[in-house]
Structures are given as C-alpha cells and as structure tokens.
Structure 1
C-alpha cells in the first residue's frame, strides 16, 4: 500500500469512526465496527476518475473473503488530498461485480483443480526417486517458500529420531498442493478496477458520515434478517 493510500484509509477510518484490527496484516480486513452485537467487516477504497483499484492477484481467496464484506468508497478531490463524499456498498450490492469476475476466472480455477488431480505417485518418483522416507529437504524442494517451518512439521507423517519425514503418499499430497498453488496463480485477474458507473449507483454519504453509515448498515442487516425468517 502506498503512503497516500495509507493516509486515505486512515482518514476514512477516522471519518466513519471505525476500528482497525490490532496487528492487522495486509491480507486482513481493513476495519470493522460493531452494531447490535454484530461485528461488521469493511473494505476501504479510494475512488478516482478511473474507478477503484482492487488487488494485484484477484482470485478465489478474495471471492471467499469478500462474501460478507461491506465496502466504503471514498471519493477525493483531483489532488487526492480531500475526501469529498463516500459511497457505501453492502455485500449484496457488490454481488454483481464480484460474480462477474468470479465467472471470468472459473475456467482457470477448474483447470488448476484438474491439473492437481493429475499428480500421482509417478510424479514424485520421477523427481525424487522411490523412497520409504522423504526428508524435509525433499519437501522444501517441492513446496519452496510457500510454507513456513510449522507447516512442514504439521504435514510430516514419519520420523527418524528427531528428523521429520514424509511417506510417498504424503509427498503426493504436497506435490498436489504445490501444483494447485502454481496453477491458481494464473487463475487470477491483475487488479481489475470497479468502474465509476458502478460506484455512482451506490448510496452516497455526504453529511454525518459515521451516523449515516450505521443507519445504512443497520437497514441492510434488518432487511437480510427479515428474509431469513421462516414462513408458515
């Protein structure tokens, strides 16, 4: 995140009286608020004349993450220094745009799944030979820097003394995971923009932003809860 984007995000957090999760990492939600005992997660974006940038590698993980996310789009002046007004989007309001991107990458996602299922024992044996005990170094050669030390330890199903190891079946699983990871990297979109025309149709917030946002969120929660109620 650039310094300017970071400043804009902090400005929106203050403007809407939101809370940033403690120890937040880049992949975590941007902020949240609590309404009627419910914690509402938010994605915060600043809008320009070209629309809103999203993420570099938009794929299945983001679609899953965004399923229940609420959005705030801050519209700034031409220099990007002053927040003029904002738009609020409920999870339902974002479904058309997210679904269109999800459908676009679906063939590549299926291709990654198909390729993963094609990894068999011969795939491991051709690379590493047939062994009764594959070492952590063997596993690291397959998984590279995708995993942390704790994940290698958790995946191990054999040991000799203090040395962890892996059976052939487990190495097949690891290679399948790596195959899926590599293929899935291609099943993404590079920072697709949400167009201004899409954002302009969303509820606009100008005055009393913190209060107005809570009113909009509460109205959405009430509407979804009413549709979830069983009918006689």
Structure 2
C-alpha cells in the first residue's frame, strides 16, 4: 500500500509490477487511529513466486518449432527449503491440464489428453527423487511441451486439441498450486537423512503457512 502526497486517494496493489494494474483498489483512511501489534520474534511465512508462460507467442500445430509452457518457481525464504513433490504433476504428470488452465476465444476450456496408471499395495515413504530443494532466489525451472499424438504409444496429443487460427488464454492450474503445499525448511541431506522411520517423523504433519505470488494469465495463438 502506498500513500499519495498529491491529495488524491491512495491505492493498494500487489508488488511494484502491478502498480499500473486496473485491478488495484482505492483505499480510504479510517476516522480513527489504526492499532496493531508488532512481535519481534514473529517469522514471516514462506513466499514462493510462480511464473508460468508460453515458450513463444505462436504455437505451430505441425510440431516445429516446439511449443510448451515454461514454469519458474522462486523461493524468497532466507533458508533453503525442500518440497515433497510426490503425487504432484511435477513428478507424476497425468495431463497438461494439471499445469495450465487454458480456454479458447469463446471461454471453452481445452480438454487436454489425460492418462493415469494403476498401483496396488501399500504406499511407502516417497523416494528421495520425489523431493526438490529450493535455494533462496534460485529459480526451479521446468518446461512442459505440447506434442503430436504418437499412434504407437498413445502419448502426446496436446497439439491435436488446439485449432488453427484460434487465440488462447492460459493461467496456472489449481492442481499445480497445490504441488508446493508440503515443505520443510532445510536441505534434502538434512531432511532425508537416516532410515525411513526418521524421514517419516520429520515429514509427519502439516506444513507452515505459505504465500504464493502467481503470474498473470498469458495468451498465445495457434496456426
């Protein structure tokens, strides 16, 4: 929130990048003093910036050059954190809809191909490669490519769901936002040391509060 000195109403907005946004809100002064408490030992919640953008402004349905959605995640915590990505689209992707919610010009959602496997038996503690370490202000990046359908394997098929000449709008999916809900402060070596029972003890229970700074919707066209 920033107070103006020119006599006009102040505005509230999220970060300097949104200062000129039409979504900013007018703020008025209350007719009485505002009271608040300040705690010296209060720890600020973890904040993650999540940016999802297309790799280009145009998607060529022939498959070349390749087109996809690029994800960038940045932790603004002072310490290294480790996120458990087990059963999230960042480790077990079933369909592109778990990454991006995309609609056409008429507001119709793109129905991306979706596949799921079967698993029987008990669910053991996740293997170490299901955890991702996020260091302060060091981006974690991953690109999700749109592919043509492979008739032999039935993989891909995202490009067949787009129409030539259409414009699309996309944003981060709710499923992707939930991928970062289970985390701990510390490195993988610290949090995954010892036997399985030791790991389970460290990861038992919920995680602390998290603030997510999510990128604005993006646009692209297909030809």
- The two structures have a TM-score, normalised by structure 2, of 0.22
Structure ranking higher in strand proportion: 2
- The two structures have a TM-score, normalised by structure 1, of 0.21
Structure ranking higher in helix proportion: 1
Give the number of the structure whose alpha-carbon radius of gyration is greater.
1
